C-alpha cells in the first residue's frame, strides 16, 4: 500500500483566492448566458402561447359563425 506524501496533502488543503475568483467569474459568465437563454426562450414561449390562444379564439368564432 503506497503511503500518501505529506506534500500532496498540503497541496490539496491550500486554496488560492485567485483561483476562487476565477471560478466565480466563470460561473457568473455561465449564469449570464443562462439568463439570456431564459429570456429568449421565455419570449418564444409567450409568442407560442399567444399564437395558440389566437387560434383557439379564431376557431371558436368560426364555429359560432
Partner 1 sequence: MTECNLNAYNKAALFALKSKPQANQQPAEKAPPKTEAAPDWSKYLAQVAGSEEAGSSEFTGLPRLTHSYASAVVYTQAAVKAPAFGAASLETWKDAFTKALQQAQGSPNLLVSKYYSFKAGALRFLLSLAGVSPGELEALRRQALEDLEKQNKLLFKENARNYVLLTISGGKNKKERRIMAEIEKQLSLQAQRLGKPVSQLNLHELRLEQAQIIRENLAEQVGNLKGLKELCELYGRN
Query: What residues make contact with partner 1 under the rule CB under 8 A?
Result: 14-17, 20-21, 23-24, 27-28, 30-31, 33-35, 37-38, 41-42, 44-45, 48-49, 52
Q: Is the Cβ of residue 6 or residue 64 nearer to partner 1 in the bound state?
A: 6
Whole-number minimum distance, CB 6 to partner 1, in Å?
A: 18
Q: Is the Cβ of residue 33 or residue 54 nearer to partner 1 in the bound state?
A: 33
- Cα angle 22, 28, 46; round to 5: 165
Contacts 24+ apart (CB under 8 A), 6-13: none
57 vs 8: CA distance, rounded Å: 69
Amino acid at each position: 500500500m503506497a503511503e500518501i506524501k505529506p506534500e500532496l496533502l498540503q497541496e490539496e488543503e491550500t486554496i488560492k483566492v485567485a483561483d476562487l475568483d476565477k471560478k466565480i467569474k466563470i460561473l457568473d459568465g455561465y449564469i449570464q448566458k443562462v439568463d439570456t437563454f431564459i429570456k429568449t426562450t421565455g419570449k418564444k414561449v409567450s409568442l407560442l402561447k399567444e399564437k395558440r390562444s389566437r387560434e383557439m379564439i379564431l376557431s371558436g368564432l368560426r364555429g359560432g359563425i
